[in-house]
A and B are shown apart, each in its own frame.
Chain A
Amino acid sequence: MDQAHLAEAVERYLKGEMDPQERHAFEEARKNNPELDQTVVEYQFFFDEMERYGTIRRFKSNLYDTHHTLQENGQIKDLHLPASTRILNMWTKYRRVVAVAASIAGITALLISGMISIFSPNRPIRDLEELRRKVSNLERQSSNQRAEINNVKSKIAPGTDVRFGGTSFLIDPKGILLTSAHVLNGAKKVYVQSNDGVDYLAEIVHQDEASDLAILKINDEEYTAPRSLPYGISRNRSELAEPVFTLGYPKDEIVYNEGCLSSKSGLQGDTMAYQISIAANPGNSGGPVFNRNGEVIGIISTRQASANGVVFATKSNNIYGLLEAIKKDASDVNIKLRPYSSLRGTSRSEQVKKVQDHIYMVKVVLS
C-alpha cells in the first residue's frame, strides 16, 4: 500500500466509509502494526484540523458576505467621521465623563493636599499620639492632696486647671530645660516639678514646631542650680540597634524604660527623628533618650498609634540647631551645651541615679 492509498484508507476509515469487513481488517492491521497505528493517529489529528479549518473558512466567508449584505441594505452604517467633527463628537460624547473625571480629580487633589497638610511633620500627626499626658481629675485631686499632706510648698494654687503633663530635662545647669514643643501647646503658664516633688515656675524661651522642640527656663528664686550636669548632648549620629533608655513622667513619679534604636528615620522617612523601640506612654513626651554612655541622643516626641512600641524621638543634633536660632533672636540667653558625658563606663543604675534629679515633669496650665 503506498502512502497515497494509505491516506485514502485512513480517511475512509475515519469517516466511517469502510464496509464492516474492510474495517475489521484495517483494525486488525492497526493492532498488529504500531507504526500504522501511529500514522492513523497522526492522520486523525490532521484530518480533524483540516475539517475544522474548512468549517471556520466557510463560517468566515459567511460572516464576510453577511457584513457585505447588511452594509448594502443599510442595516450597518459606517461611523466614519471627518477628523474635526470627530473631535467635536468625542467632546459631546465624553463631556459628562470629562466632567465627572474632572470632579473626581478635583476631589482627589483636595484630599491629597489635605492629607499632606495633616501628615506633614509641622503639625501634630493624626496617626501619632502625642505623648503628653492628660492629667485626669482624679490624678489632679490626688496630687493636690499629696501636696497638701506632704506640706510641699506648691506654687500651683489649689484648683488651678493643670491639663497636660510632659517631661523635660536640664541642658544647662542655670535652669534651662528642653522639652517637646507640643507639650506646651496652648500654655498660659508652665510649671516644672523636680524629682523630689517641688514645683518651679518656668517660662517658655523658644518653641520650634518643626523639630518639635521647646526650651524652658526656670524662673524661680527657689531654684538652686546644680554645679554641673552629668550627661552631655550628643552631636553624633547614633547607630541602629544601639541600646537606649529614657526617664519620664507618665505618672507622678519618674519612670525608667529601655529599648533600642530601631530606625535612623522617623515616620515616613522623617530624617529629623529616630525610631525607637521602647515602651513610652503619654507623659513621656519631651523625655531624654540616653545611649549607653549616658549621652542624650534624642527627645521623645510621638508614637505610632497603629503600632506597638514604635516611638519617634527628635534627634539630639537638632538641639544645636535650635540653640543657633535662639542666639539670633534672644541674645540674652546664653546656653552652653556639654557634648560629652561623664557617665561613660558606669553601670546603668548608676547612670540613672545621677541623671534622674535633672529630669523634671512639665505641668501646663491652660487658663
Chain B
Amino acid sequence: MIRKVKQSNPDFESFFLLFCGLPSLLQGINACKVAISEQELAIFRAIGKNEKRAIESVYSENYGLIQHFVIANNGNEDDARDVFQEAMIVLYEKSRSPEFELTCQIRTYLYSVCRRLWLKKLQQARRMETPVEGLEKLIPVEEDLEDHDKLNAQYLTMRTAMGKIGEPCKSLIEAFYVHRKNMHEIASFFGYTNADNAKNQKYKCLMRLKKLFFAQYKNN
C-alpha cells in the first residue's frame, strides 16, 4: 500500500510541474534578480581572463545539464559539445564586455543560451520541435546572442582570411597572435636569422592578411 502511494507521487509531480511549472517558468524570466555570490562573480570574471581552473569548474558543473538537454531534444554528443562550447564563448565575451553585468547564476545563463542556440539549430534543420525537457530557470538572452552573432561573424571573417593567406604566413601569425610567442622564439622556430627578420616577415604577412580580411569583410 505504501509502495503504491510512493509510486503514484512522481506522476502527480509531473502533472504538477507541467501545469504549475510553466507559469513559474515564465516568471523565472523576470525572477532572475537573485543575489549573486562573490564566488560566482569571481568565477565569471576568471572566465573572461581565460583561466583554466575557472573554465574547468564551470565546465564540469554544467556540461551534464546541457548534454542532457540537447540529447533529450534530438541532438547527439557532438551537438551537445558544440552548443555548450559556443555558450561558453558567449559567456567569455560577456565577461570581457564592460557593459555586461551578471544578474543570474552562471548555470541559468548558460542554460538559457544553450536552449536558444539549440532551438535555432533545430529550426535551421527544420526539425522544429518544442523542447519538452527542462524546467530550469530561463532568462532572456536574445540580445546577448545577437551581439554574439555579430562577433562570431567577424571571427569567421578573420578565420576565412587566415585560411586564404597560406603558409608560412598563417603559422607565423598564429604563433604571434594566438599562441603569444615572442619574436625570438618565432625566429628560431621558423629558422629566421634574427628576430628583426621574423618581424619584417610578420608585417608583410599582416598586410596581406589585412587586405584579405577587408575584402572578406566587405563581402559580408
List A residues at the B interface (Cβ < 8 Å).
Answer: 3-5, 7-8, 42-43, 46, 49-60, 62-67, 69-70, 75-76, 78-80, 93-94, 96-97, 99-100
**Residues on B with beta carbons closer than 8 Å to the beta carbon of A60:** 85, 89
Known contacts A67-B59, A76-B60, A79-B71; A52/B154 CB under 8 A = yes
Name the residue in A8, A76, A97 with the highest tally of chain B Cβ atoms < 10 Å from its Cβ: A76
State the CA gap A63–B66 with chains docked (Å): 15
Whether A49 lies near B14 (C-beta < 8 A) is no
State the CA gap A129–B62 with chains docked (Å): 60
State the CA gap A16–B72 with chains docked (Å): 51
**Residues on B with beta carbons closer than 8 Å to the beta carbon of A43:** 210
A and B contact pairs by CB, cutoff 8 A, 7 listed: A4-B203, A8-B203, A46-B213, A52-B158, A54-B180, A58-B178, A96-B14
Whether A51 lies near B177 (C-beta < 8 A) is yes
Whether A70 lies near B60 (C-beta < 8 A) is yes
Whether B85 lies near A63 (C-beta < 8 A) is yes
Check if B112 is an interface residue, CB within 8 A of chain A: no
A54's partner among B63, B132, B178 (CB-CB below 8 A) is: B178
Whether B155 lies near A93 (C-beta < 8 A) is no
How many positions in chain B have a CB within 8 Å of any CB in the partner chain? Answer: 49
**Residues on A with beta carbons closer than 8 Å to the beta carbon of B11:** 96, 99
**A-B CB proximity, top 4 nearest:** A54-B177, A96-B14, A4-B203, A53-B158
Name the residue in A42, A50, A78 with the highest tally of chain B Cβ atoms < 10 Å from its Cβ: A50
Q: 8 Å CB contacts to A: which residues of B168-209?
A: 173-174, 177-180, 199-200, 203-204, 206-207, 209
Check if B38 is an interface residue, CB within 8 A of chain A: no
List B residues at the A interface (Cβ < 8 Å).
Answer: 10-11, 14-15, 18, 50, 52, 55-56, 59-60, 63-64, 67-68, 71-72, 77, 80-81, 85, 88-89, 92, 96, 132, 151, 154-155, 157-159, 162, 173-174, 177-180, 199-200, 203-204, 206-207, 209-210, 213-214
**Residues on B with beta carbons closer than 8 Å to the beta carbon of A57:** 174, 178
**Residues on A with beta carbons closer than 8 Å to the beta carbon of B85:** 60, 63-64, 67
B89's partner among A42, A59, A65, A99 (CB-CB below 8 A) is: A59
**Residues on B with beta carbons closer than 8 Å to the beta carbon of A59:** 50, 88-89, 92
Whether A66 lies near B77 (C-beta < 8 A) is no
B199's partner among A8, A49, A56 (CB-CB below 8 A) is: A8
Q: How far is the CB of A105 from chain B (nearest CB, A)?
A: 14
**Residues on A with beta carbons closer than 8 Å to the beta carbon of B173:** 50
Whether A66 lies near B200 (C-beta < 8 A) is no
**Residues on A with beta carbons closer than 8 Å to the beta carbon of B67:** 76, 79
A66's partner among B56, B71, B178, B210 (CB-CB below 8 A) is: B56
Known contacts A4-B207, A46-B213, A53-B177; A78/B155 CB under 8 A = no
Whether A62 lies near B50 (C-beta < 8 A) is yes
State the CA gap A348–B120 with chains docked (Å): 67
A4's partner among B60, B81, B204 (CB-CB below 8 A) is: B204
State the CA gap A97–B180 with chains docked (Å): 52
**Residues on A with beta carbons closer than 8 Å to the beta carbon of B63:** 67, 70, 76
**Residues on B with beta carbons closer than 8 Å to the beta carbon of A69:** 56
State the CA gap A53–B179 with chains docked (Å): 11
Q: How far is the CB of B59 from chain A (nearest CB, A)?
A: 5
With CB as the reference atom, state the residue of chain B lying closest to A99. B11
State the CA gap A66–B203 with chains docked (Å): 33
A53's partner among B155, B180, B206 (CB-CB below 8 A) is: B155
B207's partner among A3, A70, A93, A99 (CB-CB below 8 A) is: A3
Whether B59 lies near A66 (C-beta < 8 A) is yes
**Residues on A with beta carbons closer than 8 Å to the beta carbon of B60:** 70, 75-76
**Residues on B with beta carbons closer than 8 Å to the beta carbon of A75:** 60
State the CA gap A94–B73 with chains docked (Å): 11
State the CA gap A322–B209 with chains docked (Å): 87
Q: A58-B180, A70-B56, A79-B80 are in contact. List 9 more A-B contacts (CB 8 A).
A: A4-B203, A7-B203, A56-B89, A62-B52, A67-B81, A70-B63, A79-B77, A93-B72, A97-B14
